[in-house]
A and B are shown apart, each in its own frame.
Chain A
């Protein structure tokens, strides 16, 4: 997992101001941040949120697609992180651990969705209300819509590795760490996911050109 230089919590990884309107400036590195969180410092907790909300949002968005309940899932991740921060053995590895918690949250969400058969009656997932869902669909590009239609039909584990690799852009080492699996398992699963995705994409009007000959 790529190591990041400590930076003020009021900036995201893009260097942009963080999305919260009352962001907290916490000048310590991740080790200091974790020490503050463990000491139940609200400033440190707020700073952890401000520092990593962009990363968490991107992983969830890139694995689950545009969804109305994205804020709820982000909340789940941070509640889990803050509630289990005592389990983090190496504070300097905060970012990697946070990625793992985020991936676990996304995976859990996918599995619970796939168990509830009747929720599949709604084409775009289980939390979407009818009109807002159609609005999301209108906002999403054709490629995004088509890709997540295919991903929705894939086994959750394959979907996760595929979307983290190609949509989120993680390299193989990052992918293996985020998914908490060995590199060889990761490669095997990714290979299977690529085959499945490409087969479906070739049948898809919007994606055919991408998988057959690069960008349309």
Chain B
């Protein structure tokens, strides 16, 4: 019976994860566009000859000398035109980015990338995570760059693969034609020729080896993690690592108290002063879920102090508001949620922050502020999880 009760609770909690009206409208539009563009029977009857002609035309385009001399002015994601700064996420299938100079980048399934800049002599891409298989057409003075975390791969004309694992802060590059230069991450520049590969970690980053993951690289000491390797070594399945009791792994497994105890052993204050911003957020969540509100607060405050104006600082403000709210400190909660909205007025937690402000202003008896925010909330999020509360606030005399 307790599983049934938990199920009820989960359904209630998940009800807040509604699609927004805009998201739903976008999906609907895409579904209908896909159906309009795929008339199965018509394709076989009439479309196949046209498809053949299109393939011939594409082949002619690729072989025609003038086509490759077009230069770099646009790109396509699969068959549609791409936009600068557009996120490209390959889910189950690879996604190909083709550029007008004949260069192409194939994002493997599970990868996320985007084109940040397009210039006559090259493009700048960011690999957020995953793997890109690149073929850059060599032209005089061409300049392509792939940024991955703190690293940059500089390319003049080549075929290479680059993998970026943001969790491990691990970059792997292997070159099959031409050459690339890898820089950043606290390392000196590395020039790689055809047939060589390189695996780099961010300097000073300790190895992170989740104990539940059987295929992780073996732990390596800081700074000694740098090595130039045979390219086959880079794609070989990695040896299983010794189980590591990293606090982040314990937290991921829901062992919050053990995770926090592990951080305490390392020195909680010292960790707050040295961990990167994202880890401080994780530490805050871990401490909160372990029931240690004061530790959570310290971690979030450290994130705000050490990384001001970052998105993590804003998320910390929201989290501090939630902590204050849980502790029944409505006044403090209001301050933190307001601060989040000041720092990230269009942020992804803005709807939640606004909703919580309505709750707390109402709780504090500040009807004027509650009504003002409720009005704004309903304009921006008419179907949001706090819409009913907002309407009830406005309905009161």
Contacts and interface: CB of A to CB of B under 8 A. Distances in A.
| A, B assembled together | yes
Interface string A29-46: 000000000001010011
A126 B110 contact: yes
Nearest to A215: B5
Interface in B200-234: 210, 212-216
Contacts of B16: 139
A123 interface: yes
A121 B167 contact: yes
Interface string A191-205: 000100110100111
Interface residues of A, number: 79
B50 interface: no
Contacts of A175: none
Interface string B354-388: 00000000000000000000000000000100000
B5 A20 contact: no
Nearest to A57: B19
Nearest to B128: A129
A100 interface: no
B59 interface: no
A143 B4 contact: no
B64 to A, nearest CB: 35
A166 B1 CA distance: 10
B254 A203 contact: yes
A153 B213 CA distance: 11
Given A62-B11, A169-B11, A19 B383 contact: yes
Contacts of A116: 109-110
A36 B84 CA distance: 39
A119 B91 contact: no
B252 A149 contact: yes
Given A69-B91, A75-B30, A20 B24 contact: yes
Contacts of A127: 89, 91, 110, 112
Contact of A53 (B24, B40, B92, B165): B24
A71 B6 contact: no
A53 B29 CA distance: 13
Contact of A205 (B28, B129, B291): B291
Contacts of B25: 19-22
Nearest to B108: A116
Nearest to B237: A117
B9 A19 contact: no
B9 to A, nearest CB: 6
Interface in A135-180: 135, 137-147, 149-150, 153, 165-169
Interface stretch (B96-104, B132-140, B311-319): B311-319
B2 interface: yes
Nearest to A133: B278
Interface stretch (B31-39, B75-83, B180-188, B262-270): B31-39
A150 B255 CA distance: 11
Contact of B348 (A49, A70, A132): A132
A129 B3 CA distance: 31
B192 interface: no
A167 B254 contact: no
Nearest to A109: B92
Contacts of A126: 91, 110
Given A19-B18, A40-B39, A130-B128, A79 B7 contact: no
Interface of A: 18-22, 40, 42, 45-46, 49-50, 53, 57, 61-62, 66, 69-72, 74-75, 78-79, 82-83, 108-109, 112, 116-123, 126-127, 129-132, 134-135, 137-147, 149-150, 153, 165-169, 194, 197-198, 200, 203-207, 210-215
Interface of B: 1-11, 13-14, 16-28, 30-32, 34-36, 38-40, 87, 89, 91-92, 109-110, 112, 128-129, 165-168, 210, 212-216, 252-257, 278, 281-282, 285, 289-291, 311-312, 315, 318-319, 322, 347-349, 352, 383
Given A19-B23, A205-B291, A210-B9, 4 more contacts: A19-B24, A71-B23, A211-B3, A211-B6
19 contacts: A19-B23, A46-B32, A49-B32, A53-B19, A57-B19, A71-B19, A75-B30, A78-B31, A108-B92, A121-B165, A121-B216, A138-B285, A138-B349, A140-B13, A153-B212, A166-B10, A167-B10, A210-B3, A213-B2
The 9 closest A-B CB pairs, nearest first, are A19-B24, A166-B7, A141-B13, A204-B254, A78-B31, A210-B6, A121-B167, A135-B348, A117-B215
